[in-house]
Structure 1
Amino acid sequence: MGDKPAGFRGSRSWIGCVEASLCLSYFGGPQGRLCHVPRGAGLQGELERLYSHFSEGGGPVMVGGDADARAKTLLGVCLGPGTEAYVLILDPHCWDAPENPSALQAAGWVGWQKVTRAFDPNSFYNLCLTSHNSEKQQHTLD
């Protein structure tokens, strides 16, 4: 795509959400809308946006950070009683097809986590909110 030095091709270097969004666009995948959260503690302020994203049929949300280098994929958000909120997290390193959804959860690949525990309050995060291909195609037709 030309955004990395020549030595990047074929390397084992990681890319972040910004690069993933560029790849989605470049290769004709679903649209990726970026959202920067300066500190993980600020993720509480993004819960309404995430809830709307998923309730309107938005696709997975890729998450990358700096101090928190553990990549995450958000599949849902649940606003619990009081002020507690949970996110359904899929480890993006999961590569095998499970026998059933319960196997993913039992192996620790997917599960609900409290937002306050899932995100480092001092790390910044980039979120890439993806749309489904059908939504992209619909926008193209409009």
Structure 2
Amino acid sequence: MINTNTAPYAALLLRLGLGVMFIAHALLKLVVFTLPGTVKFFETPGYPGFLAYVVFGAELVGGVLLVLGVYTHWVSLALIPILIGAAMVHIPDGWIFSVPNGGWEYPVFLAIASAVQALLGDGARALRASAASLVRQPA
């Protein structure tokens, strides 16, 4: 049975965790690996280099939108293909993400968590939900 009193806070925690994780991965690409270095990494398994910029932007903007709780359902769904792409890169490395070059377990888990977030929706303290609530209140 779902506890309807705490479910919005569970969705909030998941949304914040995913959002911060996506922002951190975007900043990792920018600050640590650099965008040109990320382009080279994307080209190694055969992805077009320009996708590095697309992924960086999607992770950064998507992460911020998740933290704020704006279009949570759609943002979570939009980020799943990026996570599937990451999992595909790491399949040859094995399952465990702690092996050299990382495995596929972490991106697959994050793809599932993103799907769960899309199903749960915004949760508590979402900017979009808060604004909608204010509009619906009678004057």
Q: Same fold (TM over 0.5)?
A: no
TM-score (norm 1): 0.28
Q: Which has the higher relative contact order, 1 or 2, with Cα contacts under 8 A spaced 6 or more apart?
A: 1
| Larger CA Rg, structure 1 vs 2 | 2
Q: Answer 1 or 2: which has greater helix percent.
A: 2
Q: Answer 1 or 2: which has greater strand percent.
A: 1
